[in-house]
Structure 1
């Protein structure tokens, strides 16, 4: 179960708890939140309340998102761009806009729904909602993901992630002109205490390291390649914002005045790992999506 906490600000005091909580995530309906409150999944300062409870300032709302009971992931005949497949592993080139696995608000149309239809056999380590999923990329990030077909493969791939031996290179467009050619961002990432739906650099966060190099410079923007050493939630988006070069189009961490695109300009273009059975190193590349290429052409023309 995922647990989210939110501290009531001065401008929120006196507001109904169901209104405040439904505003924390646009995918949570008011009626769904009210049911969670009645079921005790939402508390204020560890106490059960009613949906019309008026929240005092500096009190803490704790939302424990319940796992859907008895939910079966329905196989769906979705188009999947399979870069590689054998009896242990699938490598999928996920399109922008597709959610990786079912979650509150997204129980169909996800990559997992498509995989269940495509191959039927996925590892069960992450349970019914995330079968086979070893790592994730955000909904609006495109690119390569490795998926495990059995538990042996799953454990092997996860161990490689922990050992930092998996190659993960992303192409991104960021705001601003980065003056130097290379850089390493070593800054811990955790939940933003002011916004529990966002991540940020915090002293008590988890270790996070991103390496980057400049590929091309444009007027007011830079094309970079980012290589992950660790894999924290929103890592590249948070780290590039932290050093003053937020991703173009990023609705959460970028500026309001940005390029007219749907979500961040970020593509997981290179993925490499040792095969869980043969130990052979395998590396895959996915070309930039057409939308990304068109954006680059536009920046070059403006430049």
Structure 2
């Protein structure tokens, strides 16, 4: 059987390989896509590649011969009515190019193993459009501002802003201990599996990561901080918070499990990671600056009041 090839056009220039394939093959399990990439069945210009590799205009994507021709249909996932309502009520902004959502905690931005639905599935269903894509990501446990594109032109524009560090993101978090002054963390991060869970570890061989922690309010055993990230690595804030010995409250991947279990027993209405993407600032395609702010959820606000 002969090999199949896809040629990258201008709309998909500088897009991640995995996102490109997920778009091209919406009915193919993501686990299968990642498996084919790892095995070398999918190559870029005849060379092995990684899921996060950026593809460029004119690149030839080699596909295994058994893969069915790409097709996109309009079979959108049926959302539970309460989830559809939750997502609709979380929309902050919507125009012809992009959508900004105050993502609720507990909803994955994209599908995967064990996920019945995701934010991207929900938004595509609500708008009846498979052209909607994630511009960036938030952890399932993190709430707050996330941007989705409505067309490939804006997606490419946003990716360009990310590459040139022209997007400002701020987060609010409750961290353990007292952080008495601002601190800039520049520890490099590398993705690793720890106890079979994907995490980021501080490692000199890793990639550049920069987070600025500014204390907002100091409590008895915790600190409310505002964090600005200049880069956007996997679990960046959570890994950097651990590296300065101030893990994020409720972070069972990077923090003190026993301490958090005790906290949740004492505060049964709060069972989440205390991390919220508070704002995002960027220029649209017409060079108009936008600032979007996502309100804190009720449970997050109640915990702050308890500490106060």
Instruction: Return the TM-score normalized by structure 1.
Output: 0.70
Instruction: Return the offset for 1:118.
Output: 1.8
Counterpart of 1:140 in structure 2 is 141
- Indicate conservation of the 8 Å contact 1:140/1:262, yes or no: no
Unmatched 5+ residue regions in structure 1?
3-35, 47-63, 124-130
Instruction: Return the offset for 1:265.
Output: 0.1
Deviations 1:113-133 (CA, angstroms, capped at 9, x unpaired): 21112223354xxxxxxx511
Select the residue among 265, 284, 295 that pairs with 1:275: 284
Deviations 1:172-195 (CA, angstroms, capped at 9, x unpaired): 000000121x11100111123654
Instruction: Give secondary structure in 2 for the equivalent of 1:153.
Output: helix
Deviations 1:197-239 (CA, angstroms, capped at 9, x unpaired): 2211111111100012110000010000001100001000000
Counterpart of 1:237 in structure 2 is 238
Select the residue among 70, 91, 96 that pairs with 1:87: 96
Counterpart of 1:227 in structure 2 is 228
* Mean CA deviation greater in 76-85 or 141-150: 76-85
Which is helix-richer, 1 or 2?
2
Instruction: Return the offset for 1:75.
Output: 5.1
Counterpart of 2:122 in structure 1 is 114
Does 1:176 find its partner at 2:184? no
- Indicate conservation of the 8 Å contact 1:144/1:271, yes or no: yes
Counterpart of 2:114 in structure 1 is 105
Counterpart of 1:59 in structure 2 is none
* Count of residue pairs brought into register by the alignment: 231
- Indicate conservation of the 8 Å contact 1:190/1:200, yes or no: yes
Counterpart of 2:77 in structure 1 is 74
- Indicate conservation of the 8 Å contact 2:76/2:125, yes or no: no
- Indicate conservation of the 8 Å contact 1:122/1:148, yes or no: no
Counterpart of 2:208 in structure 1 is 207
Instruction: Return the offset for 1:92.
Output: 0.7
Going from structure 1 to structure 2, the CA distance change for 1:138 and 1:233 (only over 3 Å counts) comes to same
Could you tell me how far apart the structure 1 residues matched to 2:170 and 2:239 are? 16
Instruction: Give secondary structure in 1 for the equivalent of 2:134.
Output: coil
- Indicate conservation of the 8 Å contact 1:90/1:148, yes or no: yes
For residues 11-22 of structure 1, the aligned pairs below 5 Å read: none
Does 1:189 find its partner at 2:192? no
Aligned residues: CA RMSD: 2.6
Instruction: Return the offset for 1:163.
Output: 0.9
Could you tell me how far apart the structure 1 residues matched to 2:121 and 2:78 are? 5
Going from structure 1 to structure 2, the CA distance change for 1:288 and 1:194 (only over 3 Å counts) comes to closer
Could you tell me how far apart the structure 1 residues matched to 2:193 and 2:273 are? 23
